[in-house]
Structure 1
Amino acid sequence: MIDLLVAGGGPAGLATAIHGALAGLRVVVVEPRPAPVDKACGEGLMPTGVTALARLGITPAGRPLAGIRYLDARHAVEARFRAGPGLGVRRTTLHTALYERARALGVEHRVGRVGDVHQDAHGVTAAGLTAHWLVAADGLHSPIRAALGSTPPDRRARRYGLRRHFAVEPWTDFVEVHWSPHGEAYVTPVGPDLVGVAVLGPRGRPYDEHLAAFPALRARLAGAAAGDVRGAGPLRRRVRTRVAGRVLLVGDAAGYTDALTGEGIALALASARALVGALVAGCPERYEADWRRLSRRHRVLTETLLTARARPHTARLIVPAAHRLPTVFGTVVNALA
């Protein structure tokens, strides 16, 4: 019998599968898309994410990141990571590294989608397979989470993300976060001649219109677009519980605040480890408390920034305040890192 059936073969699902295989479990991943899977992503890993990958035996190629820099039209402030470098890495490169590590450990992969889920006291059946446990790692729009009724309504303003690559030599080893009155642009070096630029904000404007809010950045990138624009959203996902009988949620399916602080992958990797640890210990219910503990700092700080961003009179003060209080800014960055 399968020990762990994972619905979704993105970073969260594959990290869960790898931790399961390392713990001696029989793991099957069900994913409809061929590897490598690309998606809209800031492509920057915090130092904790780099450490979590190393724990899995994975060191993907990428660009070391020294820290975070905030900029608006008049101010700039930066903070270096104290716990070692982060990593700018193409999403496809990260996915390939995780996928190959999972295969090397004996994780089985099935092409398909997980539809109806049936569970009882002894196991769970989905995608024509029966397992002791099912992990839903099926993303922001998780059909499994929706079927479980674990998503309460959220009437707050919706935000979306768009990402494009540009074939230019990186001009910094920092992740740059450019602020405008209507959104943010994240610049992440991911290769010797490639940067990813993700824009965040309300839905309704195409990528080039978002980028026009940052004229200096747009001028630097002029004529260098490489590849298509990818989008994701709405970003916020409230979730009542991450444990529903023999079904557990991980990654974006487990709940998401915003991409504003860039911790999605790092949090997914840490949660995957906690999830498998709870199952191996025979205490699946422990995972809920572990997830809340692991994500608490991220949720509090991200919600605080979002609240400030939502009000015009405070939104325009975020970068100037960080500029005037660089020690506080550095403390916050490293608390997240």
Structure 2
Amino acid sequence: MRTDADVLVVGGGPVGLAAAIEARLAGLSVVVVEPRATPVDKACGEGLMPGAVAALARLGVHPEGHVLTGIRYVSGDRVADHLFATGPGLGVRRTTLHAALAARADELGATVVAGRAEVVHQDRDGATAAGVRGRWLLACDGLHSVVRRQAGLDAPNSQARARRRYGVRRHFRVQPWSDLVEVHWGRTTEAYVTPVSDDVVGIALLGPPRTDVDRTLDAMPALREHLAGAPVLGPTRGAGPLRQRTTARTAGRIRLVGDASGYVDALTGEGLRVGLAQAHAAVVTLGADVARSNAAYERAWTAATRDYRLITAGLVSAAGSPVRGGIVPLAAALPALYGAIVERLAR
């Protein structure tokens, strides 16, 4: 059968484009299948941890944004701050990041075609989706991955419907009041506040379904004061449920990358850092022996996501328990522990 590329990437979001860039840097031909025009917007916190900034720089991607110097947890009058030890992070509009990645992929010769991977086929020598065939298929098609489902890699979601968490993001035209990413802890919802330019702040709410954005923000006095009179920019966007589980990350010549490979929660804010690490691992472990190279990717995926999965799952579990109200006071009382956790996730 005709082979169009060494690597077929399904999904042209940031992780998919990063995978395409990785493939081109490795000397592989690549086709990206994406139904939407660039840039694509979606609900996300838009804060890049220092490790994500470094990973993008290695790919030759340097998006414009607002420097982030650390993380601040806020609950009532209790505050816990930690400044990044390894260098600054960056607050970047999702559309700005996507455009920068798309430009770099195009510069390196990646081909992007408009299409939707509704049916996926694979055989011993390759995989086909949206009429494009590659020796390998990297599924970077997000939380609700079609490829994951068709490859039989979905795992039953063990969360009760009432415990499912969703994300909602809104931008405000207001001068940032801090260079820190602020996480404001409400009764059931966290507000993830990220400055993304000199006059725009993004706020992502993480919590139960059907969260009322205005009511939730009004219940957080510190935020209410900063946002008083600030105009809303653009539409409010949502995503979820956030929790996604997989039985494996590989099936023959198909590999799951980024959110498609499994996701815990956005609370700790390093989703893109982990996705970029997966994109790198998915490409560098490609080899002639399918079984051996898939085993190498599974090991690399586990190593790249271990801290995120363990720490985030623990924090989300605590956030949904009676100890929720003690998270910020504990972080303030034990700054060394709080800082060590932040640095572990930020690297």
Residue number in structure 1 paired with 2:244 = 237
Residue number in structure 1 paired with 2:39 = 36
Aligned pair 1:211/2:217, yes or no? yes
Task: State how many pairs are aligned.
Answer: 336
Task: Indicate the SS of the match to 1:198.
Answer: strand
Aligned pair 1:324/2:318, yes or no? no
Task: Indicate the SS of the match to 2:192.
Answer: strand
Offset from partner CA, 1:309-329 (integer Å, 9 cap, x none): 1112x0000000001111111
**Residue identity matched to 1:328:** L
Residue number in structure 1 paired with 2:9 = 6
Aligned pair 1:133/2:136, yes or no? yes
Give the gaps of 5 or more residues in structure 1. none
The 5 A counterparts of 1:1-337 are 1=3, 2-156=5-159, 157-224=163-230, 225-279=232-286, 283-312=293-322, 314-337=323-346
Contact 1:46–1:263 (Cα < 8 Å) also in 2:
yes
Output the CA distance in 2 between the equivalents of 1:129 and 1:85: 40
TM-score for the superposition, normalised by structure 1: 0.98
Offset from partner CA, 1:249-271 (integer Å, 9 cap, x none): 10100110000100111111111
Of stretches 273-282 and 139-148 in structure 1, the one that deviates more from structure 2 is 273-282
Offset from partner CA, 1:124-163 (integer Å, 9 cap, x none): 1221122101111000000111112212212321000100
Output the CA distance in 1 between the equivalents of 2:195 and 2:208: 25
How far apart are residue 28 of structure 1 and its match?
A: 0.2
Output the CA distance in 2 between the equivalents of 1:208 and 1:192: 23
* Percent identical residues: 55
How far apart are residue 280 of structure 1 and its match?
A: 5.0
Give the gaps of 5 or more residues in structure 2. none
**Residue identity matched to 1:184:** E
Offset from partner CA, 1:207-253 (integer Å, 9 cap, x none): 21222231220231122122211000000101111111000010100
Output the CA distance in 2 between the equivalents of 1:280 and 1:16: 16
Offset from partner CA, 1:82-111 (integer Å, 9 cap, x none): 110011000000000000000010000100
Output the CA distance in 2 between the equivalents of 1:131 and 1:278: 16
Give the alignment's Cα RMSD to 1 decimal: 1.1
